[in-house]
């Protein structure tokens, strides 16, 4: 008899964003004339930049020819892209990585889930609360014990060490959903903690391009010794607008070790390489060429323009909200603004009120976990016109 993985039954029935989508759909159906502004899901809106378009065109032309055709590529990613990553994302920050430490993938969401394959289900996992739901759900799916690290006003959104011993620690900074950051000193403490406890840090740096302030690490490998304890997740989604193109990568340093129950050291890089070769067949060649193009001089310039555009939106939203008395976090080194819901409303009550009174869609903080209750996430990924209009509408009520 075919038995299912019963851990799936422990998942909440609805994925946060599909619940939102349904509510919005219903409202739209009933109020067809109202223009809804979506600042909920973290999806970008700027078109793909010209250098990327050109790179895709060039690669597409290539694969249509006999000599230029590309079949299966290396599962880990083409050398041209891995080299560009090492050179531009790391060497420029004095972080030296080897090509075999870079694994190109079709998305950070996939990577976050897939990486768990190589670890024992006996590991205890620490995630922040609130948290990007994927970290939580993918661990529930394999039945791991989960410990929550609250991110609250009280601790200034800096996670404290868990009382119980943990083995896998998810850190996402600039944080999704709170938009807050860890400075170098705070991150150093976590690297130290991981070393002392032989734990591993899964460091999600998907939003590092939005950092504006000094002394905020763009990569965990800026911290000495982090290569021994951390895997880093990066993505072209939010920086270069690849949410619809699909490309990301992770860094799995050769120094990183896991353990057997008997205490033998095992290379995590080798395990992940085996997983990648067996369960993945690489990212589309034309998409990898697209990712490569983001590192050209012109590419960097065009992408910076887009990021500046979103940063301007963040400023408009954050300052606009603060002007009328909202308490907000994030938005400075992050495309996310985490606002405190007024009048002791719940996050979902505020969601409904926002949808009905202003036709603005945000994300209820409680959807990211208990400690997100009473908060609301707005993203800066909309158009500047929408961001301005949203603040106008909120000011009216």
Residues 189-248 that bind a second copy (CB under 8 A): 197-200, 241, 243-246
* Shorter beta-carbon distance to a second copy: residue 91 or 143: 143
**7-36 residues near a second copy, rule: CB under 8 A:** 8-9, 11, 15, 18
Binding residue for a second copy, selected from 44, 341, 354, 360, defined by CB under 8 A: 44
* Shorter beta-carbon distance to a second copy: residue 62 or 353: 62
Print the binding letters for residues 261-290 with a second copy: x by CB under 8 A, - otherwise.
x-x--x-x--x--xx-xxxxxxxxxxx---
* Shorter beta-carbon distance to a second copy: residue 6 or 164: 6
* Shorter beta-carbon distance to a second copy: residue 119 or 375: 119
CB of 310 to a second copy, least distance (A): 13
In this structure, what token pair is assigned to residue 116?
């768990």
Tell me the site size for a second copy, rule CB under 8 A.
86
* Shorter beta-carbon distance to a second copy: residue 64 or 325: 64
Beta-carbon contacts of 6 under 8 Å, excluding residues fewer than 6 positions away, are none
Distance CA 375, CA 177 (A): 10
**65-104 residues near a second copy, rule: CB under 8 A:** 65-66, 68-73
Please give the C-alpha separations between residue 2 and each of 6, 11, 151, in angstroms, as whole numbers. Answer: 12, 20, 41
CB of 118 to a second copy, least distance (A): 5
Binding residue for a second copy, selected from 40, 77, 107, 382, defined by CB under 8 A: 107
CB of 215 to a second copy, least distance (A): 29
CB of 120 to a second copy, least distance (A): 4
- Helix runs in 181-247, H state only: 184-197, 237-240
* Shorter beta-carbon distance to a second copy: residue 97 or 240: 240
**How many residues comprise the chain?**
397
Binding residue for a second copy, selected from 46, 145, 315, 340, defined by CB under 8 A: 46
**124-183 residues near a second copy, rule: CB under 8 A:** 133-134, 137-138, 141, 167-168
Distance CA 176, CA 58 (A): 35
Of 19, 188, 199, 189, nearest in space to 127 by CA: 199
* Shorter beta-carbon distance to a second copy: residue 263 or 325: 263
CB of 82 to a second copy, least distance (A): 17
* 117 is a site residue for a second copy (CB under 8 A): yes
Residue by residue, what is the 3-state secondary structure of 208-224?
HHHCCCCCCCCCHHHCC
Distance CA 37, CA 29 (A): 15
* 63 is a site residue for a second copy (CB under 8 A): yes
**CB–CB of 369/361 below 8 Å?**
no
Binding residue for a second copy, selected from 24, 36, 110, 146, defined by CB under 8 A: 110
Beta-carbon contacts of 114 under 8 Å, excluding residues fewer than 6 positions away, are 105, 275, 279, 280
* Shorter beta-carbon distance to a second copy: residue 2 or 397: 2
Q: Is 322 left (phi over 0), alpha (psi -120 to 50) or beta?
A: alpha
Please give the C-alpha separations between residue 32 and each of 28, 35, 209, 215, in angstroms, as whole numbers. Answer: 5, 8, 37, 48
Instruction: Give backbone dihedrals phi and psi of 188, rounded to 5 degrees, phi first.
Output: -55, -40
CB of 168 to a second copy, least distance (A): 7
Instruction: Give backbone dihedrals phi and psi of 172, rounded to 5 degrees, phi first.
Output: -125, 105
CB of 349 to a second copy, least distance (A): 26
Binding residue for a second copy, selected from 22, 93, 156, 259, defined by CB under 8 A: 259
DSSP string covering 8-77, please?
A: GGGS-SS-HHHHHHHHHHHHHHH-TTS--EE-SS----SPPPHHHHHHHHHHHHHHTSTTT---S--TT-
* Shorter beta-carbon distance to a second copy: residue 257 or 345: 257
* 308 is a site residue for a second copy (CB under 8 A): no
- Residue indicated by tokens 């075919």: 2
């Amino acid at each position: 008899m075919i038995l299912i993985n019963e851990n799936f039954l422990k998942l909440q029935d609805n994925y946060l964003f599909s619940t939102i989508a349904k509510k919005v759909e219903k409202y739209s159906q009933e109020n067809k004339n109202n223009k809804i502004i979506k600042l909920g899901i973290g999806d970008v809106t700027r078109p793909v930049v010209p250098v990327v378009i050109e790179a895709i065109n060039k690669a597409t032309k290539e694969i249509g020819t006999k000599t230029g055709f590309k079949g299966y590529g290396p599962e880990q990613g083409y050398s041209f892209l891995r080299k560009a990553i090492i050179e531009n994302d790391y060497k420029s920050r004095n972080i030296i990585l080897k090509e075999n430490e870079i694994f190109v993938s079709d998305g950070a969401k996939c990577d976050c889930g897939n990486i768990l394959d190589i670890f024992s289900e006996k590991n205890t996992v620490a995630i922040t609360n609130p948290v990007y739901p994927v970290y939580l759900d993918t661990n529930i799916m394999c039945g791991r014990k989960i410990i929550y690290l609250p991110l609250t006003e009280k601790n200034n959104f800096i996670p404290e060490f868990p009382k119980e011993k943990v083995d896998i620690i998810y850190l996402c900074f600039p944080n999704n959903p709170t938009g807050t950051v860890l400075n170098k000193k705070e991150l150093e403490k976590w690297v130290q903690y991981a070393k002392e406890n032989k734990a591993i840090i899964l460091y999600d740096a998907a939003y590092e391009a939005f950092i504006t302030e000094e002394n905020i690490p763009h990569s965990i490998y800026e911290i000495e010794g982090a290569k021994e304890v951390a895997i880093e997740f990066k993505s072209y989604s939010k920086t270069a607008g690849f949410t619809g193109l699909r490309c990301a990568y992770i860094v799995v340093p050769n120094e990183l070790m896991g353990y057997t129950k008997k205490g033998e050291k095992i290379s995590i890089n080798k395990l992940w390489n085996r997983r990648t070769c067996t369960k993945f067949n690489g990212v589309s060649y034309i998409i990898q060429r697209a990712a490569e193009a983001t590192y050209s001089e012109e590419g960097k310039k065009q992408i910076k323009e887009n990021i500046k555009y979103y940063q301007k939106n963040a400023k408009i939203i954050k300052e606009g909200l603060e002007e009328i008395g909202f308490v907000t976090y994030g938005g400075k080194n992050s495309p996310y603004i985490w606002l405190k819901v007024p009048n002791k409303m719940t996050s979902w009550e505020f969601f409904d009120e926002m949808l009905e009174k202003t036709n603005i869609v945000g994300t209820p903080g409680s959807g990211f976990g208990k400690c997100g209750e009473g908060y609301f996430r707005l993203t800066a990924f909309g158009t500047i016109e929408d961001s301005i209009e949203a603040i106008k509408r909120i000011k009216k009520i």
